[in-house]
Structure 1
């Protein structure tokens, strides 16, 4: 009888990974955009399985593929990180990594590298994102992602290249070399280029690695160097801000929320976003989308019911089933990211005000016609949760907490544990009327 692999300790505790290397690469001119100052690089990045799985899924869905496909693209992310990363505060791969084929191990390392990069970029204050394929239609090598907001507001956007490696030869020197080479080949050539979301004025190359069988991880960040003024020259005059603190380029907000609502299993909303972005046949405006209002960790989140609840005219039936133990094993079956050892699947939701502002803005564009689409949208930001930079040891969240979740600045969240309270309301989005309460 063949041996069956088991997980003696599924990953639950947050890991703290130190930034083991940070290099700055010269560029001429510097700065590319006068007045821009990059946020300071952190010393440590702390995250748990829910946050890492959420970021793996977030980066995997930055494509123009059908939303139904993208909603299932990250199904195994939470299971992968729980089974392939050891439980404990120090990052370490489990023995199961050795059971993977070389190609799958390489793919998993790449997914983790992308997830770590997304966590770091969010922690540095960058909110909105897109796949960097929008830079060029050619096959020329380019970085993986474009980010906006935070320090780069009013100046342009930044590039981010992600690299992950789980191999026997992983070392600080090897990971540092990978980050620097990727920066030189896939970030530097695109600096000062114009993208669909603005001028590229800064770049990062993030390389993450761990050696199977050894505790610890290596994380190197390479980024564009911003030269300091020398002599008695007067400092350049900073440009007059053009955007309010809550504004973001419409194109970047649409790209971000296309990925978000794909993860939330809301294909109708994604179809409208695609129509606004690219045209084509106008979707049916008479098809509303239902949401549940869920209290969790002191906030209200909206969960889309489009793909799992066929009775849109009778959403109140759900309230009677919310705490029925016979219901939960079936309810999340089609949700993303099933957890190991329990009946709850990770659930992508969105902070209510963030969802409301975007969906109402989308309805305004639909009513006015995409030819009148504004250059920027006023959208809120929320404080991220579930991951942190430079956190004191006393600030770690207990793995026994009733709340296990990751929340991003754009409002998207992945709930890693069942909501402890009942549904508090229901809302419906109409393409032309916006989000309303039932």
Structure 2
């Protein structure tokens, strides 16, 4: 849900407030004692406009989880990539290993939370969403610098407040319209994948927002043509944190030079295995003096195995998406730092 909020073209402070408020609200209204999605009866006590807003955010978050499980890594709003497009348009554009390099997919996110909701209702909502907001664009719409929409999905989450067990339904293109494509996605791959520069930068602009990296955020805004020129000598310092056997980066103020405590480290981090090639490719673009209207080059980026459950030991150290964004809840085992300079790239670890 935080990813879906951060992908919008709003200030980092607003995005952070939305993520924080939604996290607390979901924590209070979703019963996580079992394995199903269970809304508590308190949901019905909220005002209608509050229920509507939260239902939409739940639909976006559920859809993003489904797409990650299907092997898609990078996302942006369809309205950002197809501005002024006439007609009803799905919510998100995704790319990732599951596309097989054939193009991108258009996805509509739906949700319905009501006391009378049934599996049939959820299925019908997803089917209408696909028919009206996705299918008209599949195979017929191309996004410059991103790719052709060759496949589509509509995902719907349903839940009845106070009733155990939610519903989910996914509708997808039956047969991809590009030869060699398939109607289903695969799992995440560790191999590097080509992704359009516009989509990659939009995706990691949102990630930089969540991991508290304002210098990186400002440069990505500039590359998207949304801000004025920025000095190339500014530095973005990252804390480098080890959780289990994984290293993550998260934004840090220049004066932050002590061992982090749980209250001083943002929970959102970026897997170092993705951050290093990403930041070095961004620095190459900055050194070349590329402007938004010159066109952005294709990125070659790895994807990480998605992790939404406990590890082999039963621990739950972090939630991680294929693009490397992680929500860390486990113990920090080691700490160092790294500095990214827009003109020079990501520096070595410093203890």
Contact 1:68 1:267 in 2 (8 A): no
Which structure has the greater CA radius of gyration? 1
Matches within 5 A, 1:157-236: 157-191=104-138, 192-196=140-144, 197-226=146-175
Matches within 5 A, 1:278-427: 278=225, 281-305=228-252, 309=253, 312=254, 314-315=255-256, 317-319=257-259, 322=260, 328-329=262-263, 331=264, 335=266, 347-371=267-291, 375-387=297-309, 401=315, 403-417=316-330, 419-423=331-335, 425-427=336-338
In 2: Cα distance, 1:384 partner to 1:237 partner = 25
Contact 2:103 2:149 in 1 (8 A): yes
Aligned residue pair count: 334
In 2: Cα distance, 1:159 partner to 1:99 partner = 35
Match of 2:30 among 51, 64, 85: 85
In 2: Cα distance, 1:216 partner to 1:121 partner = 21
Q: CA deviation at 1:106?
A: 1.9
Once the two structures are overlaid, the 10-residue window that deviates more, 408-417 or 154-163, is 408-417
Match of 1:111 among 46, 54, 57: 57
Cα distance change of structure 1 residues 76 and 416 upon mapping to structure 2, 3 Å threshold: farther
C-alpha distance after superposition, 1:223-249 (max 9, x if no partner): 111189xxxxxxx678xxxxx943211
Cα distance change of structure 1 residues 179 and 293 upon mapping to structure 2, 3 Å threshold: same
Extract unaligned runs of 5+ from structure 1.
1-55, 229-235, 239-243, 336-346, 388-395
Q: CA deviation at 1:193?
A: 0.5
Q: CA deviation at 1:414?
A: 0.7
Contact 2:244 2:333 in 1 (8 A): no
SS at match of 1:141: coil
Contact 1:365 1:373 in 2 (8 A): no
Paired position in structure 1 for 2:69 = 123
Q: CA deviation at 1:411?
A: 0.8
TM-score by length of 1: 0.71
Contact 1:71 1:265 in 2 (8 A): no
SS at match of 1:162: strand
Contact 2:218 2:227 in 1 (8 A): no
Extract unaligned runs of 5+ from structure 2.
182-190
C-alpha distance after superposition, 1:146-175 (max 9, x if no partner): 001223132110011011111022101111
SS at match of 2:164: coil
In 2: Cα distance, 1:374 partner to 1:132 partner = 18
Contact 2:209 2:217 in 1 (8 A): yes
In 2: Cα distance, 1:75 partner to 1:164 partner = 21
Q: CA deviation at 1:397?
A: 5.6
Matches within 5 A, 1:13-28: none
Contact 1:144 1:161 in 2 (8 A): yes
In 2: Cα distance, 1:373 partner to 1:429 partner = 24
TM-score by length of 2: 0.88
In 2: Cα distance, 1:227 partner to 1:73 partner = 36
Paired position in structure 1 for 2:339 = 428
Q: CA deviation at 1:400?
A: 7.2
SS at match of 1:71: helix
Q: CA deviation at 1:436?
A: 0.4
Contact 2:212 2:250 in 1 (8 A): no
Once the two structures are overlaid, the 10-residue window that deviates more, 67-76 or 146-155, is 67-76
Cα distance change of structure 1 residues 159 and 264 upon mapping to structure 2, 3 Å threshold: same
SS at match of 1:365: helix
